[in-house]
Amino acid sequence: MSLSLDLQHLYSFFPKEALTALEGKATEAKDLLLKKQGPGNDFLGWLSLPEENTSGILDEINATATQLQKQSEAVVVVGIGGSYLGARAVIDALSPYFPQGKDYPEILYAGHQLSQAYLKELLDYLKDKSYSVIVISKSGTTTEPAIAFRYLKKALEERYSNQEVQQRIVAITDSSKGALRQLADQQGYKTFIIPDNVGGRYSVLTPVGLLPIAVAGFDIESLNQGALEMAQHLAQAEASENPALQYAIARNLLYRNGKAIELLVNYTPKLATVAEWWKQLFGESEGKKHQGIFPASATFSTDLHSLGQLVQEGVRNLFETVLHIEDTKYNLAIPHDAQNLDKLNYLQEKQVDFVNKQAETATILAHVQGKVPNILIKLDNLSEKSIGELLYFYEFSCAVSGYMLGVNPFNQPGVEAYKRNMFALLGKPGFEQEREELLGMINRS
């Protein structure tokens, strides 16, 4: 496997035995998960997705992706939260920083926020482009994507015939119910199903993630294979050799000792959206019963010039998890400069990545000396297979960590609070009483 876990920078904070002492609890959590006996066990479909994603399913997704590629300069993925973050995380991690040529459609995103300016500028940008839409929603009534889809659908209908609009919209939704399912059936859109037993933040290995990733030109078979190999290893490995359990143990031990913030750090900016996906996964899974580690992220060395002082000498309530990529693919040696005004000739002929990795090591050591515990997650490279391993590793460790914390990692009751208030303030039918109460609160303030 590409992925490995390094906990050596915790041992100055806790003896190794402190981690070993929690292996039994982690194993119990793992058993609850695999035997489907824990809270939220009706949302464990993600566990077996890598095995269940047969060549037939992947072939169907690839065939649809090919059709979208042929007819589109751009493909807009409409969704919010887990309905777009997993796909975007993989696409951003594997895409070049500065795309050359147009072998595949440009992947754009909508419905992941409520910015009027963003939506207007997106629609203007698409006016002269041939585009298609992948709309992702189990219900079809989630406010942000539903608004965006209204506009995109209307714009397509104003430009194309009914038959071509039908070919340019793919819906990923519930198998039998909901507004989007009803519309897709009425209009004859190509559809894929969001399984009932897979929550949004665990859905990257369903068509929710796989179709946009395939449209972007990436190998979903390799992605799934990486996840499959990780799934098999995590199911079989004992706690001492199980990276997901060791990560969950380390996080819980740190949390018990006052470390309530986890800063996920990368030295490869392509991983920034992986961190956004990770933040939803852990934040929504663990943040219950007034408990949970706050997930934050940073890209170093950039953010060392803004957050470095705080991490080094601020409140000692955080720990870092560093994503380390061993092989960064390119060779780029620092050139000699005759004047040497910048005093960098001592680095001539050294790879830029060598400098980056020395910065990484130096920062880890400095932060550990500053009493910030560090966990290191290493990947051999950035590829579909290694990213598949990483995604499944995080999903499994998050579930185990949630059970160790004593919460249901698969529900999210708290996210409904803002929605109820928003619906009331917007005047949605059925929320009249809540509206009066909220307006009273606003007037009193």
81 and 32 within one domain: no
Q: Is residue 414 part of a domain?
A: no
Q: Is residue 432 part of a domain?
A: no
Say yes or no to pLDDT of 414 above 90.
no
323 and 261 within one domain: yes
pTM: 0.94
214 and 168 within one domain: yes
267 and 173 within one domain: no
Say yes or no to pLDDT of 311 above 80.
yes
Q: Is residue 342 part of a domain?
A: yes
Instruction: Give the count of beta carbons closer than 10 Å to the beta carbon of residue 105.
Output: 23
Number of domains in the chain: 2
351 and 324 within one domain: yes
- Chain centroid to Cα 69, Å, comes to 24
Q: What is the mean pLDDT of residues 171-189?
A: 95
Say yes or no to pLDDT of 94 above 80.
yes
198 and 94 within one domain: yes
Q: What pLDDT score does 113 carry?
A: 93
Q: What is the mean pLDDT of residues 155-180?
A: 95
In three-state form (DSSP H/G/I as H, E/B as E, the rest C), the secondary structure along the chain is CCCEEECHHHCCCCCHHHHHCCHHHHHHHHHHHHCCCCCCHHHCHHHHHHHHCCHHHHHHHHHHHHHHHHHCCEEEEECCHHHCHHHHHHHHHHCCCCCCCCCCCEEEEECCCCCHHHHHHHHHHHCCCCEEEEEECCCCCCHHHHHHHHHHHHHHHHHCCHHHHHHHEEEEECCCCCHHHHHHHHHCCEEEECCCCCCHHHCCCCHHHHHHHHHCCCCHHHHHHHHHHHHHHHHHCCHHHCHHHHHHHHHHHHHHCCCCEEEEEECCHHHHHHHHHHHHHHHHHHCCCCCCCEEEEEECCHHHHCCHHHHHHCCCCEEEEEEEEEECCCCCECCCCCCCCCCCHHHCCCEHHHHHHHHHHHHHHHHHHCCCCEEEEEEEECCHHHHHHHHHHHHHHHHHHHHHHCCCCCCCHHHHHHHHHHHHHHCCCCCHHHHHHHHHHHHHC
- Residue 431, Cβ density class (10 Å: 0-12 exposed, 13-18 middle, ≥19 buried): middle
Residue ending a domain, among 190, 221, 252, is: 221
Cα–Cα distance for residue pair 189/183, rounded to 1 Å? 8
Q: What pLDDT score does 328 carry?
A: 87
Question: CA end-to-end span of the chain, whole Å?
Answer: 57
Q: What pLDDT score does 280 carry?
A: 97
Residue ending a domain, among 221, 245, 266, is: 221
Say yes or no to pLDDT of 422 above 90.
no
Q: Is residue 435 part of a domain?
A: no
Q: What pLDDT score does 418 carry?
A: 78
Q: What is the mean pLDDT of residues 251-255?
A: 97
Q: Is residue 331 part of a domain?
A: yes
Q: What pLDDT score does 430 carry?
A: 78
149 and 106 within one domain: yes
Domain ranges, residue 290: 4-39+223-401
235 and 278 within one domain: yes
9 and 23 within one domain: yes
Say yes or no to pLDDT of 445 above 70.
no
Closest CA to 266 of 306, 307, 322: 322
92 and 27 within one domain: no
Say yes or no to pLDDT of 244 above 90.
yes
Reported as a single tens digit per residue, the pLDDT across 71-91 is 999 999 999 999 999 999 999
* Strand pairing class (74-78; 4-6): unpaired
249 and 283 within one domain: yes
Q: What is the mean pLDDT of residues 103-113?
A: 95
Q: What pLDDT score does 424 carry?
A: 73
Q: What pLDDT score does 440 carry?
A: 76
Higher pLDDT, 92 or 445: 92
The band of 400, judged by pLDDT with boundaries at 50, 70 and 90, is very high
Cα–Cα distance for residue pair 330/266, rounded to 1 Å? 18
Q: What pLDDT score does 178 carry?
A: 94
Q: Please, which residues have CB within 8 angstroms of residue 165's CB and are 6 or more apart in sequence?
A: 153, 156, 157, 187
Q: Is residue 437 part of a domain?
A: no
Task: Compute the mean pLDDT over every residue in the chain, rounded to the nearest whole number.
Answer: 94
Residue ending a domain, among 221, 256, 288, is: 221
Say yes or no to pLDDT of 436 above 90.
no
List active site positions.
284, 305, 419
Residue % of the chain over a pLDDT of 70: 99
Q: Is residue 58 part of a domain?
A: yes
Contact (CB, 8 A) for 144 and 112: yes
236 and 182 within one domain: no
CATH number of residue 364's parent domain: 3.40.50.10490
Q: Is residue 129 part of a domain?
A: yes
Q: At residue 68, what is the residue type?
A: L
Reported as a single tens digit per residue, the pLDDT across 339-369 is 999 999 999 999 999 999 999 999 999 999 9
